[in-house]
Structure 1
Amino acid sequence: MIFRQLFDQESSTYTYLIADPATKTAILVDPVLNQVERDLKLLEELGLNLRYCLETHIHADHITGTAKLREVKGCLGVVPDHAQANCADRHIKDGETLQLDGIAIEAIATPGHTDSHMAYRVNNDRILTGDALLIRGCGRTDFQSGDAGTLFDSVTQRLFTLPDNTLVYPAHDYRGHTVSTIGEEKRWNSRFAERDRDQFIEFMANLGLPMPTKIMEAVPANERCGRIASPDTTNIISIDFSSTK
């Protein structure tokens, strides 16, 4: 399996490139619009055919690259079941498997950060946790129908029940971490290890974080799979990423 972790510094977002080396088919998880040129260049260098763009959730801090990648590569856009994105080619349900030739990607519903969040278990040895579980942290729960109690249940009952050696790859990191394991997070993630459900709910209610700076732009755009509407017209702004140099 080809597996690459790619980083967008502006939003601290990880995009994941997964590909079957035998068939050269690929998937991008949580692509970022500002990094489409980078992703296209890597696909070209590795000789890969992009089949899917897959989202863990409707993001509030960056605009997805799905629309542009779908336009350039003809791939399919896949979002979690119940996500408000009618533009998607497919909504994936809890327990469904997205088969990328020899690679199995299992959807695991992990709501709480948003009401339609998925984690993706790849070939049973690693999990892309989105914003549900970060390395020594978790996503916030104070917008997009988030719910702290639901997130606590998702992490402790759905993710922490996976084998301890399962590799954890989050959608974001703000401290330079790249990978963890389920066993590490069960032991050292203080948001869960040091709190019961009620304490977690109280803690999350008092984070006092500012709203993401791009939320008013990003959420509507991501509900259109990354197509950006001009503020004064219904036209779509075209961003040229045809060059991959």
Structure 2
Amino acid sequence: MLRQVVRNVERILPSWNPEVATSIFGVNISRSCGTTYSRRYSMKPKEMPSDNGLLFRQLFHEGTYTYTYLLACSKTRDAILIDPVDDMVDRDLKYADELGLNLIYGINTHVHADHVTGTGKLKEALPNLKSVISAKSGASADKCLENGNIITFGTEYLECRETPGHTGGCMTYVSHDHRMAFTGDALLIRGCGRTDFQQGNPSQLFDSVHKQIFSLPDNYRLYPGHDYKGFTVTSVGEEKTLNPRLTLSKEKFIEFMRELNLAYPRLIDVSVPANLKCGTLSKAAHDGSQQILDKLH
């Protein structure tokens, strides 16, 4: 059966390439069409499909509904992770390795209160990887960003836009070449991050979203830090017209956010101290954090 398929292909494509056939059929086929075949794909990393040069994956942490984003230059294989979660570092490292990627940056949109960042563990596994966060976050990192800075990985780049309000050090990362932005918790799908802790300020958040995110073209896709209803992506145009919070007047928005009366984040006393130190904890802090976690379970 397989021999007949190969012969048909050879008649259609006299100068066929066995490697191309391998990528089409998902089997290892030599021109002589021997009797032993491998079911493993042999597609090389440089041949992995990409979106106009950008390899992009959206990953999920079920425990905290957190999105982690893997972006890579398909030409150089240099890659970054946005908002990695410590519990999922093994998954992320394995996935990057499978794709033949060289992780160079672990980037955070802000100091998280609901999970410990994975940048600390990533740096332990990959000594050359650099941690990245906003300078105004107050967190320690290898690279601290200011508004307007550019992050490059291979031939790809992200523009850094300060979007404080959820916390005092939130940053949105924008890829203009691919019309996409990673908003962290500043802007969620049909919502936004809370503003009642970590230097949160509803007035500042309203201005950040309208000036730094809604100023982007309507067709830019927006990827949030979390989603709790099963959504994965939105757009500037959608949120400008359909976000029930950010379509309010500024005065109404401030009033709404101040009246939310949300519960105290269950992991904030563990996450924030660790995330201020790039996801690392001293033994004493680790032991104290474990006591908190034990009480929560």
- TM-score higher than 0.5: yes
Q: Percent sequence identity over matched residues?
A: 47
Assess, with a 3 A threshold, how the Cα gap between structure 1 residues 232 and 161 changes in structure 2: closer, same or farther. Answer: closer
Report the equivalent of 1:212: 265
Equivalence map 1:118-197=2 (5 Å)? 118-124=171-177, 125-193=179-247, 195-197=248-250
Report the equivalent of 1:243: none
Give yes or no for contact 1:230–1:236 (8 Å, CA) kept in 2.
no
Q: How many residues align?
A: 235
The secondary structure found in structure 1 opposite 2:205 is helix
Cα displacement string for residues 70-105 of structure 1 (whole angstroms, at most 9, x for unaligned residues): 11112000111222222x101011001001121111
Structure 1 residue 234: deviation in Å? 8.7
Q: CA RMSD in A?
A: 1.7
Report the equivalent of 1:97: 150
TM-score by length of 1: 0.92
Report the equivalent of 1:19: 72
Q: Structure 2: 5+ residue runs without aligned partners?
A: 1-53, 291-297
Structure 1 residue 230: deviation in Å? 3.5
Report the equivalent of 2:294: none
Higher relative contact order (CA 8 A, sep 6+): 1
Name the CA distance, whole Å, in 1 between partners of 2:163 and 2:83: 16
Q: AA paired with 2:230?
A: G
Q: Structure 1: 5+ residue runs without aligned partners?
A: 238-245
The secondary structure found in structure 1 opposite 2:133 is strand
Answer with 1 or 2: which has the greater Rg.
2
Please state which structure has a larger fraction of its residues in strand.
Answer: 1
Q: AA paired with 1:213?
A: R
Assess, with a 3 A threshold, how the Cα gap between structure 1 residues 235 and 12 changes in structure 2: closer, same or farther. Answer: closer
